[in-house]
A and B are shown apart, each in its own frame.
Chain A
C-alpha cells in the first residue's frame, strides 16, 4: 500500500516575474508587434529597481508614444511635438530633486525637435532621454523620417528614400555623444532577448547618469513598426536587424561612468563603436533594399535572425 504524503501547507512560492510596479495594468493602444510595449516595460522596471517612483516625472511626446503617460503610474507632462527636452528642462531646473525622463520617437526628436534635444544635451541637462527609432512616422501612417534608411519605401518616398532628393539618415546618438554635456549615449535594439537585456542595462545607465548628476543620458532604441513597414512582427524584427542596425550601429558611444576609477560601463561593449569617418556617414553601406508590402517576401520558416 502506498501512502501519499500531503504537505500540511502549500510550499512557499516566490514571485520571480510580474508587472513592474509603475507600469499600469491597462490595455495599450500600440499595434500588434510594436516594441513600444517592451520599451515601456524596461523603463518601468528600471524605475522600480532604482526605487524612483516617488520622485520621477515623465514627459510624453507626440507620435505613437503620445499616450505613454497613460501607461505609467507616475506624474507625467505631455509636451508639444519635439519640445519634450525643453519641457523636461523646465521641470528639472525648478525641481532638481526630481528624476525627469522624456520618451520620444524619431520624428519627434530627430526632426521637429532637433534644436531642443541638441541644446538640452549641450547644456548637460540632468535628464534621461528614451529615444525610440522606428525609421518612420508611425502615428501619421508611415511617412519618411530623418532616420529612414536609404531606399526605404514610405508613404512620402513611394519609390524609396533617395539620398539626392531626401538626404541621408541622421545618427543623432553619435552626434550627441560628442557633447561634453552628455554623460551616457548608447544605441540598442529590442529585437532579441539579448538585445532586450542590453537595452535595459542601457536605460538603467542613462537614469544612473542623471542620479549621479553627471549629465544627460540618452538611449536610442531601435524599434519596429510592423504596420508601417508592411511586415509581420517577426519579419519586422529581422528587418530591423538587417536594414537598420547596419545604418545605426549598436553600442555604447559614451559612458562617463566608465572612466578609470569608476565602475565599468553597465552595458556590453561587444559591439564595435560606430565608424565616424565622413565616408561612412555620407555613404551608409550596405544600402538596404526598399521595403513595402509589394516587395516583402515572407521570412522562410525556421530562419534564425542575426543577433545584434
Chain B
C-alpha cells in the first residue's frame, strides 16, 4: 500500500496504461490533493469517478455536488479552510464555474480546475475542442480576474503538471486551470506516476477556527478595491515574468513556425515531422502556459507563423499581440469537435509557405 492508500496503483516509477482523466486524478491524490468537488459531465466524468473510488481511501473528501455552481463554491470553502482541493469539468460546466472562479481570485484562494474542453457554444457536443481558450485566458468571470492556465499535450505531461499546478496555486494564491480536451481526457497512454507527497499544512490565513480570519472579496470603498486589484496586478505581472513557458521544436532554421497547444500540438508535431521529411523547414512552438502567454518565445527569426487550434480563432489573437505586426500570422482551425489529421495540417503548412495569407482554413 502506498502512502496515498491507493492500493490498486503500482509503485512509483512503474509504467501503467491509464486514461487521461484517471491519470490526472491519481496524480492529484499523489500531489496531496485531499478534496474534490465536482459534477458529472462528458468528457471528464472519469476524473470524478476515479476520485470517488480513490480519494476517500487516501483520507480525502469526494463529494458530488448538485451543480458546477455548487462544486466551485465547495472548492472555495475547502480552499479557504486550507486544504489542497480541486475540481474538474467540461466546457458548459466551466461556464457555470466562472462566477465562483472570480470569487476565488478576489478572495485569493488556491485551487486546481481541470477543464476537459468539448465543442461549443451552448450544449455543442462531447468531442474534443479548444474553444474555451478565451474564457480561460481573458478573465475568469467578472472583474480583473486571472488564473494560470496550463496546457498539457500528453497524458504524461498532464500527470507531471498536476503537482506544479497545486504549488503554483498556493505560491500565488490563485486558481490554476488545466486546459485539457476530450481527446486528452479519454485517451489511454502509458504514464509513469510521481511519488506521493503528503498534503501541506494549512496556511496561516485559512479559516481553521479560533481566529478572526477573513476570506472575502468585498472591498466596498473604491480606493480599497483599487489597492486590492493593484496588488493582484503585481501578482499577475510576476506570473507573466516568471511562469510563462513554451516548448520550441525544430524552430532554429524554420521557414514556418506552427503554433499549437494540447491535442492540436501533437498533431502539428507529426505534421512538422512530415514536412521536414519532404524538405520543408517547419517547426513547432507549443505554449505550455496559455496564461501567461509565452510572448517572449516568439522573439526568434521565424519568417511566418501558422496558428493551429481547435477553435474559431482564439489563441491567434495572443500570437498576433506577441509578434506585434513584425511577422505574418496565418491561422488554421477546425471546429465543433473535428480533429484534423497530420496530412490536413501538412497541406495547410504547404499552403502558407506557398501563398502566405491570413487564413488557410
Contact = CB atoms under 8 A, between A and B. Distances in A.
A88 B100 CA distance: 14
B107 interface: yes
Contact of A87 (B66, B74, B209, B217): B74
Contacts of A274: none
B64 to A, nearest CB: 10
A90 B85 contact: yes
Nearest to B216: A78
Contacts of B65: 86, 119
Contacts of B99: 80
Contacts of B107: 77-78
Interface string A76-107: 11111001001111111111011100000000
Given A73-B212, A80-B99, A80-B103, A90 B207 contact: no
B61 interface: yes
Sorting the interface of chain B by its residue count into under 10, 10 to 19, 20 to 34 or 35 or more gives: 35 or more
A232 interface: no
A297 B205 CA distance: 51
Contact of A119 (B66, B77, B81, B100): B66
Contact of A89 (B34, B63, B212): B63
A295 to B, nearest CB: 33
A99 B207 CA distance: 11
Contacts of A118: 66
Contacts of B66: 115-116, 118-119
Interface residues of A, number: 36
B166 interface: no
A97 B343 CA distance: 59
Interface stretch (A11-19, A51-59, A165-173, A238-246): A51-59
A79 B216 CA distance: 7
Nearest to A56: B209
Contact of A93 (B74, B79, B216): B74
B208 interface: yes
Interface string B104-131: 0001000000000000000000000000
B210 A75 contact: yes
Contacts of A86: 65, 69-71, 73-74, 76-77
Interface in A4-63: 53-57, 59-60
A94 B214 contact: no
B73 A83 contact: yes
Kindly name the residue among B74, B212, B218 whose own CB sees the greatest number of chain A CB atoms within 10 A.
Answer: B74
Contacts of A53: 210
A66 B214 CA distance: 13
A99 B80 CA distance: 15
B214 A90 contact: no
A100 B66 CA distance: 20
Nearest to B79: A90
Contacts of A80: 73, 76, 99-100, 103
Most A C-beta atoms less than 10 A away, residue of B77, B99, B218: B77
B80 A77 contact: yes
B276 interface: no
A3 B35 CA distance: 77
B226 to A, nearest CB: 19
A77 B77 contact: yes
A230 to B, nearest CB: 25
B102 to A, nearest CB: 8
Nearest to A72: B212
A98 B76 contact: no
Given A69-B216, A78-B214, A91-B80, A57 B207 contact: yes
A23 to B, nearest CB: 12
Contacts of B259: none
A75 B209 contact: yes
Contact of A76 (B61, B103, B210, B215): B215
A115 B70 CA distance: 8
Contact of B215 (A56, A78, A97, A115): A78
A257 interface: no
Q: Which of A59, A75, A115, A118 has the most CB of B within 10 A?
A: A75
Given A77-B80, A95-B208, A90 B73 contact: yes
B67 interface: yes
B133 interface: no
A94 B73 contact: no
Contacts of A87: 73-74, 76-77, 80
9 contacts: A55-B210, A59-B77, A78-B216, A79-B76, A83-B69, A83-B76, A115-B66, A116-B70, A119-B65
Q: Which 6 A-B pairs rank lowest in CB-CB distance, beginning with the nearest?
A: A90-B77, A86-B73, A78-B216, A90-B74, A75-B207, A119-B66
Interface of B: 34-35, 37, 61, 63, 65-67, 69-71, 73-81, 83, 85, 99-100, 103, 107, 207-218
Given A73-B212, A89-B77, A115-B67, 7 more contacts: A75-B210, A76-B212, A86-B71, A87-B74, A94-B35, A116-B69, A116-B70
